[in-house]
Chain A
Amino acid sequence: MCACNIDVIKLVGKYLNISVGPICYNSDKVITTVLDKQNVEGFATIVLRLAAKNGTSMSHEQMLLCYQWLEHIAMYSNQAVTNPIFAKSFLQDINKALEKNTYLTGQHLSIADVAAYYVLYCLIERLSIVEREAVLHVCRWLKHIQAQPKVCASKAPLPLNALSLSVLAPTVH
């Protein structure tokens, strides 16, 4: 199962081609690592720090948009993984956001999309086709993300029905 756990951070690290450091949970069960000899704690913080370390430059606004998505996922994804009914509303909200936007933070791919992809992967994977149709925009977004070879290098793309997606949920821009 993916949630905001070590696996996802490692996958993000692989995507950015950067070491994630000695990642583990601290005694308070907060995901923690050491980057540049500094303790870095929290899912969103680690992901953003890894992106910054990799040289990704972002405007303040862009960074805040990334942060709010990562924070949102960190707050609720564990519950979504363990509770399929909760997962439905969780995904509905994200679906809504992707109705008007190509990516979570707007019209450009950000690190928040990549991290979210690895988290949402298994939530979508376990849905039936009918259930997937209820979150078509998420599926379309998922397909966009996994079209990047770097994303799929460490995780096989999720098979999604391409035809109905392009018709029912066309890309926004």
Chain B
Amino acid sequence: MKIYTNENNTSTLKLLIAAKLAGKTVELQSASFEDDVFAGPRALPLLEVDDQLSFFSSNAAVQYLFPVLDLSDNGQCQQMQEWEAIRLQPAVSAVISAKSVTTELKQALDANLALVDQMLSAHKFILGDKLSAADVSIWSTLYPLHYNPTLKQQYMGQFKHITTWIEQLAAAKAIQEALKQWNGSSQGPFATISALGNPQVTSLVSPVTSPDEVSGPTVEEIEEAKENWLNGHKKLQTPLKEEKIVLPIKGRKNILITSALPYVNNVPHLGNIIGCVLSADIFARYCRLCDYNTLFICGTDEYGTATETKAIEEGLTPRQICDKYFEIHNAVYRWFNIGFDYFGRTSTNEQTEIAQKMFLKLMDNGFVLPQSVDQLLCEKCDRFLADRFVEGTCPHPGCLYDSARGDQCDRCGKLINAIELIEPRCKVCGHKPTVKPSEQLFIQLNQLEPSIRTWISSTSNNWSPAARGVCRAWLREPLRARALTRDLRWGVPVPIERYTHKVFYVWFDAPIGYLSITQNATKQYEKWWKPDKEYDVKLYQFMAKDNVPFHTIMFPATLIGINEGHLLVNYLFATEYLNYEEGKFSKSRGVGVFGTDAQDTGIPSDVWRFYLASIRPETSDSSFSWAELGTRNNSELLNNLGNFCHRSLSFCANSFKGVVPDVTPSRDDYELIALVNREMTSYVQNMEKGRLRDALKHVMSISRLGNQHMQSEQPWVLLKGSDDDKQRGATAIGLCCQLVALLCTLLAPYIPDTARKLRQQLNVNATMLRLNPENPVFFQYLPSGHVIGKPEPLFAKLDSDMLEKLKAKYAGTQNERANANDATNKSQSVAALEAAISEQGEKVRKLKASTKDKSVWQPEVNKLLELKKQLTNAQSNAHTNTPANTSTNNVAALEKAVAEQGEKVRKLKASTKDKSVWQPEVNKLLEFKKQLATAQSNVQTNESTNASTSNIGDLEKAVAEQGDKVRKLKASTKDKTVWQPEVKILLDLKKQLADLQVKN
């Protein structure tokens, strides 16, 4: 037998010892991984028994050379050898070849050695009192650790039993001979055993697992699952008493949630909804589920130039605009089931009061200074132009976008000082404004900068990545003073002399809206916003990332400057942007799906909520797509969740009369419960960090686990089996029903309507379905003997055709959609067009008569041609409309039309031989004739059906008469020839009657 080996390979030592012990002779031959000796994996040593048989695994070779003779061993020896190969050997070779040993690696090796030591403490050898292949393998692998003094001191010190065992074996003659033949050195370096390198130390890498089943639950997890399944419900926190006015409570977690105040002058689109209000709502519902004392407020941001612009556009006062759009916002959010504790607005007296008070305090503290600013004055409109009233070319080099707004460029996103705009123009009149100085008040952000930076570095770990990113970008440059006031009318007036005709800038005033809205909601806003130290109040703010600078820098700077212990944001969950079918949602251009549109589609709000939450742009921008909306509804809500809930509850209702069967979980069941617990832990962790999209994924995984469980248990089979099987079937159904209750709990923040329906079907109330965030575990939500309600399907399928239609309907901008409608209206007025054409025709004739200059009359001719084209379109529309009416209504009209048209054609043909002149008329005539024919045939079928109905009566009468006749004839004679003809007639009549009756 031959052993191929590289130099100083401890695994080769295994083979030599085994051979010597068995008294077999082996020959060593040096080899490397590049040599052509391998018939499979390139591992050394390689034992070649003959040209048919070789072993590349040293452990298999050891067993071959030194077989286990005792068969009662039950594979123990092999088990230890496998352990040696996948645990001990990798750890030892990692330690002896590493330059520096990590603590983890040392711990891994220690654990392995401790195990061996423990085995040797009870017995002489690894597996008892007999020397086995396991001893040979482990001895050889540990050889360097024991015989290299440095390594021995470092690693083997505490393992006395191992030391004794190694030395005892080393005294054996076979081993001494083997060492001699091996001719290696305990000082290293040692050879690797495979061309693939040393195997990974498994305990240091997480096991590779399938996506569904992350390595099965550990024994500890299963024990925990069991304990919690039985006693988890006792660990639920005491429920929170519902108060009419929510104020902080001592000893509870108090959560104040705000979502960015939507600007009032437009209808919110889906991007706005998921970015702010929906995210905040999901989170608020989650908080209530955990019995956190939660106040969730929002409102419309109403002051500022945009409102004034809109008011001018619509010819209303700013107040009227606000009232109008406030209602729209309110209705949209109500439809989306956004459960605000209070939805207010910023144009209230409370707002004025609080904003003025805060401003004065800020001024007292010395952070407000006046400064003269050059502003754009439109002489034509006689007023200073607010940023939004002016447009021009973006001054930032590299951008130069030609319709940048006065405050921010839509293309590069950079903030702009309106007077820096290249080629500014007044948005109202288009006139070029002039620069005039005006005195404004500025907040000295530069003075507040150090405190802002300190505060941000202490708290920004709790913010979403988008929020941190935007904030960091802002802080790259030093902060500059920023104007607090401006020359406008619609806003909170500045409460100091000389400035009374000015109002606060909206960036200053809008975040104060949170305070004033809280005041409107609770009448004691300071309890929330200036909380007592003994109260645990945390502020959570939701927004899209464009709002981040105001919430992380300007507003906190204001509060820090005021220095009255106001609450600063603790958790800021900003989102990236949501795109619309790969384009951008845009309020100003009207691209995308708007809150009101979502309502018109007839798709339930829960489906929208679910879909929007599942594409929430948490880490990067994401896209809304109609097709995906359908897929998510059909595959996730309908097939995964809906299917599981409905199946589970239906089984319970049908097989157990609605009484939820008691669960006597087996080990497999506890394994499932442990897996569910893992998902729940992730759900809570993600939720608490504002990662709503990830949290939702974990809930859906629970539903998937439920489906898999149902599928693998097959309760429908079990319930027909033996008593044991029936018991298992009942447990399966019971467990599934409990899972439904759990899902109902966890999904309530996302799809509240569905959760309410499901609670009805489960026959439970919301207080039964709560969650302990400290101990998020699956326990028996439904008490023993609980009776459920009537199960019903929760979701309906969304058809792809319908979605295609919706996609087409909401393509383009809102204006384009409106124009498309107008166009169809216009085209209908054929008469108007005809009039326009004759007028234009006259004009063209005159022009042509007066001049030969083509450039003069050509534009008019083009106009004429365009009008004619519209007319033909309109006529063809009219055509398709009219025949449909006439054909059914009056054949007479058509006959008349045919006659008239015929006359016309005849005259035309008589007057000219130019076919191009009369052909169109002929075509019209033919068309009319065709229509007439159809109309007539329609009428005829109508008539014939009428006729036939009236005929039934006659036929019945005839049948009766004929029947009589036949009977009489038959009575009078037996001669068939006499009555047969009459019978035939009777049968015919009967057949006719039957036919008619079928038709009708």
Contacts and interface: CB of A to CB of B under 8 A. Distances in A.
A146 interface: no
A72 B211 contact: no
A97 B219 contact: no
B59 A25 contact: no
B632 to A, nearest CB: 25
A28 B203 contact: yes
Interface stretch (A41-49, A125-133, A159-167): A41-49
Q: Interface centre among B60, B202, B210, B668, by most A CB within 10 Å?
A: B60
A5 B210 CA distance: 9
A39 B395 CA distance: 75
A25 B222 CA distance: 11
B86 interface: yes
Contacts of A68: 55-57, 59-60
Interface stretch (B35-43, B277-285, B473-481): B35-43
B215 A5 contact: yes
B717 interface: no
B67 interface: yes
A41 B196 contact: no
A64 B86 contact: no
A76 B205 CA distance: 13
Interface string A9-23: 000000000000011
Interface stretch (B72-80, B724-732, B886-894, B973-981): B72-80
A60 B67 contact: yes
Given A3-B208, A5-B208, A27-B219, A90 B60 contact: no
Interface string A25-43: 1111110000000101111
Interface string B66-109: 01000000110011011101110010000000000000000000
A99 to B, nearest CB: 8
Contacts of B218: 24-27
B74 A38 contact: yes
A122 to B, nearest CB: 9
Contacts of B238: none
A81 interface: yes
Nearest to A86: B196
Contacts of A86: 196
Contacts of B208: 1, 3, 5, 77-78, 81-82
Given A64-B60, A72-B57, A78 B202 contact: yes
B942 interface: no
A2 B210 contact: yes
Nearest to A3: B208
A72 B56 contact: yes
A55 B760 CA distance: 54
A75 B87 contact: no
B63 interface: yes
Interface string A65-101: 1011001101111110110001001100110110010
Contact of A76 (B196, B209, B220): B196
Given A2-B210, A5-B209, A42-B79, A74 B86 contact: yes
Contacts of A44: 78, 82
Contacts of B41: 72, 93-94, 96-97
Given A28-B203, A42-B86, A61-B64, A94 B40 contact: yes
Given A25-B207, A30-B87, A44-B82, A79 B220 contact: no
Contacts of B86: 30, 42-43, 71, 74-75
Nearest to A32: B219
Contacts of B74: 38
A6 interface: yes
Contacts of A72: 41, 43, 56-57
A70 to B, nearest CB: 8
Given A5-B207, A61-B64, A68-B57, A97 B216 contact: no
Contacts of B196: 76, 79, 86, 89-90, 93
B199 interface: yes
Contacts of A27: 218-220
Contacts of B39: 96-97, 100
A8 B75 CA distance: 21
Given A24-B216, A24-B222, A89-B195, A45 B78 contact: yes
A22 B226 CA distance: 15
Contacts of A60: 67
B64 A42 contact: no
B40 A96 contact: yes
Contacts of B203: 28-29
A8 B47 CA distance: 29
Contacts of B83: 30, 41-42
B801 interface: no
Nearest to B670: A22
Q: Interface centre among B39, B82, B219, by most A CB within 10 Å?
A: B82
Contact of B40 (A26, A30, A74, A93): A93
Contacts of B64: 61, 64
A108 to B, nearest CB: 14
Contact of A71 (B42, B82, B217, B219): B82
Contacts of A78: 200, 202, 205, 207-208
Interface string B222-233: 100000000000
A58 B200 CA distance: 31
Interface in B29-63: 38-43, 53, 55-57, 59-60, 63
Contacts of B436: none
Given A61-B64, A78-B207, A94-B40, A48 B78 contact: yes
B82 A61 contact: no
B215 A25 contact: yes
Interface string B160-199: 0000000000000000000000000000000000111001
Contacts of A23: 216
Q: Interface centre among A28, A75, A76, A79, by most B CB within 10 Å?
A: A75
Contacts of A3: 207-209
Contact of A1 (B90, B209, B222): B209
A89 B209 CA distance: 21
Contacts of B667: 22
A6 B329 CA distance: 53
Q: Interface centre among B75, B195, B213, B220, by most A CB within 10 Å?
A: B75
B22 interface: no
B111 interface: yes
Given A45-B78, A72-B41, A93-B42, A7 B210 contact: yes
Nearest to A81: B208
Contacts of A43: 82, 86
A41 B90 CA distance: 17
Interface string B286-316: 0000000000000000000000000000000
Contacts of B668: 22
Contacts of A28: 87, 111, 203
Contact of B38 (A29, A79, A96): A96
A71 B85 contact: yes
Nearest to B63: A64
Contacts of B81: 71
Contacts of B59: 67-68, 71
Nearest to B221: A24
Nearest to B219: A24
A29 B202 contact: yes
A45 B38 CA distance: 25
28 contacts: A5-B207, A5-B208, A23-B216, A24-B219, A25-B215, A28-B111, A30-B87, A41-B83, A42-B79, A42-B86, A43-B86, A44-B82, A49-B75, A60-B67, A61-B53, A65-B60, A67-B78, A71-B82, A74-B82, A74-B86, A81-B208, A90-B196, A93-B40, A93-B42, A96-B39, A96-B41, A97-B39, A97-B41
Given A22-B671, A48-B78, 8 more contacts: A5-B209, A23-B216, A67-B82, A68-B60, A72-B43, A72-B57, A94-B40, A96-B38
The 8 closest A-B pairs by CB, nearest first: A97-B40, A68-B57, A68-B60, A3-B208, A42-B82, A93-B41, A75-B199, A45-B79
